[in-house]
A and B are shown apart, each in its own frame.
Chain A
Amino acid sequence: MNIAASILEIAVIGLGIAVMLADLWLPREKKIWLGYAAAAGLALILFGSFSMSGNPATLAFGDMYILDAFALFFKRFFLIAAILVMIVSIEYSPKFQTGKGEYFTLVLFALAGMMFSASANHFALLFVSMELMTITFYVLTSFLRNQLLSLEAGIKYLILGALSSGFLVYGIALVYGTTSTMDFATLREKSALMTDNPLLLVGLLMIIGGLGFKIAAFPFQFWAPDVYQGSPSSTTAFLAVGSKAAGFALLMRLLFVAVPEITLQWEKLLMVIAGITILYGNLCALPQRNLKRLLGYSSIANAGYLMMGIAAMSASGSTAILYYLYSYMFTVIAAFLIIILVMKHTGAEDIVHLAKLHERAPGLAGVMTLSMVSLAGIPPLAGFFGKFLLFEAVIEQATVQSSYYLLAAVAIVGVVISLYYYFGVIRTIYWGKQQMIPEDIQISPASKAALWVCSVVIIYLGIMPERLMQAATAAVESLKF
């Protein structure tokens, strides 16, 4: 047993339990400090993670758990995301009538699930970590339990999430039945010898379906717009960033470490999924008037771009995914923080409420513009460089197989379509007609800091991508391409 390998997760769970206990004794008006305490604790854990090294890889818990550079990269990603989400949650928490402390605790437990999933080296840990995350999200999505929209979002996420875990478990059973192992390292050897066993292939497809639900890739994307719109905005931000990244971490580990030989046969399938997801997300986003729903469809489209990196099946494709996830995290969290700040008292999050934002709060209007421009992929911002890397990885493969050119073309069409709706948001901010009396916008120091961090990182990653690129390249090395 090598418990020290999972010290980061243990620290996060310990922090979660501490927050839960402190919640019992704190008076109601002071519960907001639990959020700040949790964010500070996470920052400490993040700081501590730099004393760990994933090289060479450490195995723990009967080889179920692996701590390598790839896992560590994702753990840091999740920690940064959770710190920002915690600040977003604090900003949103006045809307919760009860249970602020529980909300912060649940965010921490979902984070623990994500961090475990980055280290999954066995189907049991894959399943349990994914469910820890998903079940926590059932509660987080329906946290405004006095609002029908939030409950409806929770129920929809619940039914489709449980359906996908049914497929996942059945898939695991089939893969286990054909190879009689659940360990990824053993599976790598055994699956190479049985690449045309139909039962194994069906099982793997079912598992990919279960993971595809997490990342909201076609044809498992139906839940995303509804759930994104109905849930509390802070949950939506975490769902868009954390849940998606955890899905990709598991998918990459499964496809490239556990069954690389079979993945090679599936390039067409992966390309088709990527292409349809991009087109579906972007086309459906066009007529949206609700900003959260728009970001829901945009998150489907982004899942498609990220799938391009998987379809490329190369080290450069995976590096691009890791880079893109970072750029996506900062842009999306900035956008959701602004949604919360600007639309505090309006019931729905319609885009028209952003009208003339540059007169009320020029700073917020600037950050929103920055994040929309980055999502659209305009140079020199982070989103552009992420897309550039993904396209580069796909074009690289196109020299071997020409159908990759088609995928790149589809993706470019998607990017062009997306310009329309992202710039629609910017147009509303600066030239939209105001329909109601504007409210005062108050920004807490923590949110201001988070917005500064997000916007600086969006620009920094676009101009100077080298350091993150190095980290991503080092992380991808442990995927054994």
Chain B
Amino acid sequence: MIGLEHYLIVSAILFGLGLMGVVMRSNLIVIYMSLELMLNAANLALVSFSRFTNTVDGQVMVFFVITVAAAEVAVGLALIVALYRKRQISEVDELTSLKL
């Protein structure tokens, strides 16, 4: 029998993978994908909580999260493209013009 804890473990693993990706990778696109993974891990947790507590708030929240994530991706990718056009870089290690 698959219970709430199984869903939560998967969701925690996904969140951890996303966090690791953000911290350890240096390519902007990969970092961005990892950020989306974190949001979707939270979505999975919300939906499974919603299912197992018999309330719909969580599922409604997921719609908001998806919508906001889409807006975030639209703006984020535009920014990354603008940066690439400007200087042909897509690695965070090269973003070093702002320093003391």
CB interface residues, B 9-46, toward A, < 8 Å: 11, 15, 18-19, 22, 28, 31-32, 35, 38-39, 41-43, 45-46
Question: In the assembly, what is the distance between CA of A146 and CA of B87, in Å?
Answer: 10
Q: Does A135 contact B (CB under 8 A)?
A: yes
> Are A138 and B46 interface neighbours, CB within 8 A?
no
Q: Which residue of A lies closest to B84 (CB)?
A: A151
A159, A173, A288: which has the most chain B beta carbons within 10 Å?
A173
**Chain B residues whose C-beta falls within 8 Å of the C-beta of A162 in the assembled complex:** 32, 35, 72, 76
Q: Does A416 contact B (CB under 8 A)?
A: no
> Are A154 and B57 interface neighbours, CB within 8 A?
no
> Are A154 and B79 interface neighbours, CB within 8 A?
yes
Q: Does A145 contact B (CB under 8 A)?
A: yes
**Chain A residues whose C-beta falls within 8 Å of the C-beta of B98 in the assembled complex:** 149, 152-153, 156, 225-226, 229-230
CB interface residues, A 412-466, toward B, < 8 Å: none
Q: Which residue of A lies closest to B46 (CB)?
A: A173
Q: Taking the nearest CB of chain A, how far is it from the CB of B86, in angstroms?
A: 6
Q: Does A379 contact B (CB under 8 A)?
A: no
> Are B71 and A135 interface neighbours, CB within 8 A?
yes
Contact residue range for chain B? 35 or more
Q: Taking the nearest CB of chain A, how far is it from the CB of B99, in angstroms?
A: 8
Question: In the assembly, what is the distance between CA of A162 and CA of B76, in Å?
Answer: 9
CB interface residues, A 208-230, toward B, < 8 Å: 225-226, 229-230
Pair count A-B, CB < 8 A: 125
B68-95 interface code vs A (CB 8 A; 1 in, 0 out):
1001100110011011001100001001
Check A173/B31 contact, CB under 8 A, given A123-B61, A287-B100.
Answer: no
**Chain B residues whose C-beta falls within 8 Å of the C-beta of A166 in the assembled complex:** 15, 18-19, 35, 38-39, 42
Q: Does A181 contact B (CB under 8 A)?
A: yes
Q: Which residue of A lies closest to B71 (CB)?
A: A135
Q: Does A142 contact B (CB under 8 A)?
A: yes
Stretch of A124-132, A239-247, A393-401 with 4 or more beta carbons under 8 angstroms from chain B: A124-132
Q: Does A354 contact B (CB under 8 A)?
A: no
Q: Does A165 contact B (CB under 8 A)?
A: yes
> Are B31 and A172 interface neighbours, CB within 8 A?
no
Question: In the assembly, what is the distance between CA of A19 and CA of B28, in Å?
Answer: 34
Q: Which residue of A lies closest to B53 (CB)?
A: A180
Q: Taking the nearest CB of chain B, how far is it from the CB of A299, in angstroms?
A: 16
Can you list 16 pairs linking A and B with CB atoms under 8 Å apart?
Answer: A127-B65, A128-B64, A131-B71, A145-B82, A148-B97, A153-B98, A156-B98, A163-B38, A166-B19, A166-B35, A170-B41, A177-B8, A177-B45, A177-B49, A177-B58, A182-B57
Given contacts A167-B38, A170-B41, A176-B58, 7 further A-B contacts (CB under 8 A): A127-B65, A149-B98, A155-B92, A158-B79, A173-B49, A181-B55, A182-B57
B interface vs A, CB < 8 Å? Answer: 8, 11, 15, 18-19, 22, 28, 31-32, 35, 38-39, 41-43, 45-46, 49-50, 53, 55, 57-58, 60-61, 64-65, 68, 71-72, 75-76, 79-80, 82-83, 86-87, 92, 95, 97-98, 100
